[in-house]
Amino acid sequence: MPISRRSILGAALAAIPVVGLAACSSNSGGSGSSGSGGSGPITVGFSQVGAESGWRTANTESIKASLTEANGFKLTFVDAQQKQENQIKALRDFIAQGMDVIAFSPVIQTGWDQVLQEIKDAKIPLVLTDRAVTSSLSDPYQGFIGSDFKKEGTAAGDWVKKNAPDAKIFELQGTMGSAPQVDRQSGFEAVVGSQVIGRASGNFTRAEGKTAMEAALQSYPDMTLLFAHNDDMGLGALEAITAAGKTPGTDIKIVTVDAVKDGLKALYDKKFNYVVECNPVFGDQLADLIKKVHAGQSSTTQTIVTETTFDQSITQATIDARKY
Ligand code: GZL
The predicted-structure confidence for 64-78, as pLDDT tens digits, reads as follows 999 999 999 999 999
Q: Measured from the CB, is residue 131 less than 6 Å from ligand 1?
A: yes
Q: Which three-class secondary structure state does DSSP give residue 297?
A: coil
Q: How far is CA 317 from CA 153, 231, 308, 321, in A?
A: 27, 20, 16, 6
The CATH number of 8-146+279-306, from 3.40.50.2300, 3.40.720.10, 3.30.1280.10, 1.10.730.10, is 3.40.50.2300
CA 119 to ligand 1 centroid distance, Å: 25
CA 131 to ligand 1 centroid distance, Å: 8
Q: Measured from the CB, is residue 100 less than 6 Å from ligand 1?
A: no
pLDDT digits (tens, 9 = 90+) for 38-56: 579 999 999 999 999 999 9
Q: Determine the pLDDT at residue 58.
A: 97
pLDDT tier at 248, thresholds 50, 70, 90: very high
Q: Determine the pLDDT at residue 298.
A: 53
DSSP 273: -
Strands (E), the chain: 3-6, 19-20, 42-48, 73-79, 101-104, 126-129, 143-145, 169-173, 196-201, 225-228, 253-258, 274-277, 304-307, 309-311
Q: For a pocket test of ligand 1, which of 53, 104, 205, 229 has the largest count of ligand atoms closer than 8 A to its C-beta?
A: 53
Q: Measured from the CB, is residue 258 less than 6 Å from ligand 1?
A: yes
Who's near 189: CB < 8 A, 6+ residues apart? 153, 157, 171, 196
* Cα 111 off chain centre by: 18
Q: Is the model's pLDDT at 304 over the cut of 90?
A: no
- Rg for the chain (alpha carbons), in Å? 20
Q: Is the model's pLDDT at 7 over the cut of 60?
A: no
Q: Measured from the CB, is residue 109 less than 6 Å from ligand 1?
A: no
CA 107 to ligand 1 centroid distance, Å: 10
Q: Determine the pLDDT at residue 13.
A: 35
Q: Measured from the CB, is residue 48 less than 6 Å from ligand 1?
A: no
Tell me whether domains 8-146+279-306 and 149-278 share a fold. yes
Q: Determine the pLDDT at residue 16.
A: 38
CA 35 to ligand 1 centroid distance, Å: 33
Q: Measured from the CB, is residue 180 less than 6 Å from ligand 1?
A: yes
CATH 3.40.50.2300 fits 149-278, yes or no: yes
CA 56 to ligand 1 centroid distance, Å: 6
Name the pTM for this structure. 0.89
CA 27 to ligand 1 centroid distance, Å: 32
Identity of residue 82: Q
Instruction: Give the nearest ligand 1 atom to 258 CA.
Output: 9
CA 178 to ligand 1 centroid distance, Å: 9
pLDDT digits (tens, 9 = 90+) for 132-170: 999 999 989 998 888 999 999 999 999 999 999 999 999
Q: Measured from the CB, is residue 120 less than 6 Å from ligand 1?
A: no
For the chain, what is the mean pLDDT? 89
List residues bridging with 48 in a β-sheet.
79
Domain spans of the chain, in order of start: 8-146+279-306, 149-278
CA 136 to ligand 1 centroid distance, Å: 24
Instruction: Give the nearest ligand 1 atom to 205 CA.
Output: 12
Q: Measured from the CB, is residue 55 less than 6 Å from ligand 1?
A: yes
pLDDT digits (tens, 9 = 90+) for 10-24: 333 333 334 444 333
State the average pLDDT over residues 200-228: 98
Who's near 97: CB < 8 A, 6+ residues apart? 30, 32, 43, 45, 76
Q: Measured from the CB, is residue 183 less than 6 Å from ligand 1?
A: no
Q: Is the model's pLDDT at 98 over the cut of 70?
A: yes
